[in-house]
Chain A
Amino acid sequence: MSRGLCFDATSMLKISHLSHSFGAHWALKNVSFSLEKGEFLFLSGPSGAGKTTLLRLLHGALPVQRGAASVAGFDLTRLSGRTVPLLRRQVSVVFQDFKILPERSVYANVALPLEVRGLAPQHIGRRVRAVVRALGLENRLDTPGGELSGGEQQRVAVARSIVVNPQVLLADEPTGNLDPELSLRLMDIFMQFHAYGTTVVLATHSPELIRRHPDARLLRLEDGMITHANWPGGEVFRCADGGLHLGGGGNGPDPCGLDAPGIPGGSGNSGSSGDDNSGSGAPGNPDGRLSL
């Protein structure tokens, strides 16, 4: 690809030197990583760290300002009004604020992405019922979204995102309003999708969830930067010009030849690698970036 970016064909999700600012405030600073098909990533970090911003970039709700990104084969730097809907048919999102339609029934809310794709009604009915049952909402099918509890709304949001069998699933705090038992049930569902090959990125505040899935990947964002990574299985960032590993040392020049200029706040804030990983960035990276 252009600009010396190093995307290999198998990556389902690849971002490189991604930065995003709201006015003068940089919500995301020089973030790079990639995920293969079927991988599972926890995105953790304190409130305001930039998790939602990153997820919004990944489904085209925010334009890419700096850096590059591709998701499910779509180059996010070249999205247009025509391609955004196509991207969103591959990438499902569970929003932190649910975004369900209050006047419409649970059924209509969950069926929405299928209708948008023009599927036949019988087919839609079958899939919606299956997903709704899996999430324990089967006796709320006709209830308007606005009359549901927070936890129920959250499950509707999850149901709507998985009903389409997405290639990539982005979930922003999907267990925030659920009791522990429901959280576990939901995580089981996400894990099932993950097992069937969906790439999952899940933002969460819950250390408990992360602890329960030690083999999932983990990135910790703080103030827009990756400050911690647990990247089991190693090889993380491969360049098209020779399959270079970036995890080893931080003292060489940027092997991909791109250094996003003018991003403030990068220096002096280096990442710390996860304990057992072989491929994450190391302390001392000159611009504080952790290239994964």
Chain B
Amino acid sequence: MRTFFRLLGRGVADLFLHPWAQLLSMAAVTLVVFLSGLLLMALATVDAELSASRGETVYQVYWRPGTDMAHVRGQWEELRHMPWLASLETYSPDEALTALARRMGETTGQAAGLPALDMGFLSGKSPLPPTALLTFAPREADPEKWAADTQTFLKAMPGVERVAASPLRDELGKAWRAASRFVIWPTVGFLGVVLALVVGNTVRLTLSTRREEIEILQLVGARNWYIRLPLMVAGALQGLLGGGLACLLLLVVHWRFRTALNVPPLLLELRLPPPEQAALLLAVPVLMGILGSWIAVRSR
């Protein structure tokens, strides 16, 4: 056991034996992971853009006029927690009236040079119903069924008189949602393989600076695990440091340039890759660091 921990320690200490070789190979690992991360980020951004913001469905819900507003406001609170909800606009009868007045003033009043319509006299006795405008960005396997279910749910709420639905889903979003399954994971897998090959080979080549040491250890009777353990620790550390550094860089890029593309007509907001893909960016280098070291020590 003591030997085991000593070997772990030696793996770390040995990183400083050939600092330049280690630094260069870590830089290589960092760059590949960073590039892969950028690609994943682009993929995540495109995915979010195509499947979320474009494939929206809007529901307008009308309550019966005269429904108790305290009750309606409670329902609005509940609506806020609905899945896939992108935005919720609510109008009490008075708010609806104001909005209506403003709209009419904009369209008719301005053109005719008339002063803005004052509907203040109707305040408190607005004939308009309470309404809510719900925008969803659903990412369901079966959007049609989801739409039907949602409409039924909204209609069944107490006090609701009518629900109008307007699916704004565009064809591109629909096609992307169908295809994304066949695009995203294969792409991630391909990136993983590239990452694995480059990192594994880099670590393996770094160990060529220590070929002599490995040979000598073998010649004085070291067992393979004794030789491999420190190298594997070093390889794992190298993968971890390289991958970690790359992830930090990605976070910096995301933080710095998140809204940089958010200008017309692009209107893109940079997204970080989902956690399970981000985990790959760390796991693959670490695993390949270990594996690369393992392979570098052939028996005899």
Contacts and interface: CB of A to CB of B under 8 A. Distances in A.
Nearest to B6: A115
Contact of B222 (A85, A99, A101, A103): A85
B220 A88 contact: yes
Interface of B is mostly: helix
B168 to A, nearest CB: 66
B219 A101 contact: no
B213 interface: yes
Given A60-B300, A81-B299, A99 B226 contact: no
Interface string A115-126: 011100000000
A69 interface: no
Interface string B187-212: 00000000000000000000000001
A113 interface: yes
B103 to A, nearest CB: 80
A59 interface: yes
B16 to A, nearest CB: 10
Interface string A93-113: 101000111010000000011
Q: A59, A100, A101: which has the most chain B beta carbons within 10 Å?
A: A101
A85 B212 contact: no
A59 B220 CA distance: 10
B221 A89 contact: yes
A57 to B, nearest CB: 13
Given A85-B222, A116-B222, A99 B212 contact: yes
A59 B226 contact: no
Contacts of B3: 118
Nearest to A112: B220
Contacts of B219: 59, 61, 88, 93, 95, 99
A172 to B, nearest CB: 12
Contacts of B217: 112, 116
B180 interface: no
B226 A116 contact: yes
A159 to B, nearest CB: 12
Contacts of B226: 116
A238 interface: no
A139 to B, nearest CB: 24
B151 interface: no
What band does the interface of chain A fall in when counting residues whose beta carbon is under 8 Å from B? Answer: 20 to 34
A135 B168 CA distance: 89
B89 interface: no
Contacts of A116: 217, 220-223, 226
Contacts of A95: 219
A99 B216 CA distance: 7
A210 interface: no
Interface in A62-100: 81-82, 84-89, 92-93, 95, 99-100
B98 interface: no
A61 B215 CA distance: 10
Contacts of A103: 17
B224 A101 contact: no
A14 interface: no
B300 A113 contact: no
Contacts of B218: 84-85, 88
Interface string B219-250: 11111101000000000000000000000000
A89 B217 CA distance: 11
A142 to B, nearest CB: 16
Contacts of B220: 88, 92, 112-113, 116, 160
Interface string A164-193: 000000000000000000000000000000
Contact of A84 (B17, B213, B216, B300): B300
Given A85-B223, A88-B221, A112 B216 contact: yes
The 6 closest A-B pairs by CB, nearest first: A88-B221, A81-B299, A113-B220, A89-B221, A116-B222, A85-B223
7 contacts: A61-B219, A81-B224, A88-B218, A93-B219, A99-B212, A112-B217, A112-B220
Interface of A: 59-61, 81-82, 84-89, 92-93, 95, 99-101, 103, 112-113, 116-118, 160
Interface of B: 3, 17, 212-213, 215-224, 226, 299-300
Given A82-B223, A85-B223, 8 more contacts: A81-B300, A85-B222, A93-B219, A99-B212, A99-B219, A103-B17, A116-B220, A117-B221
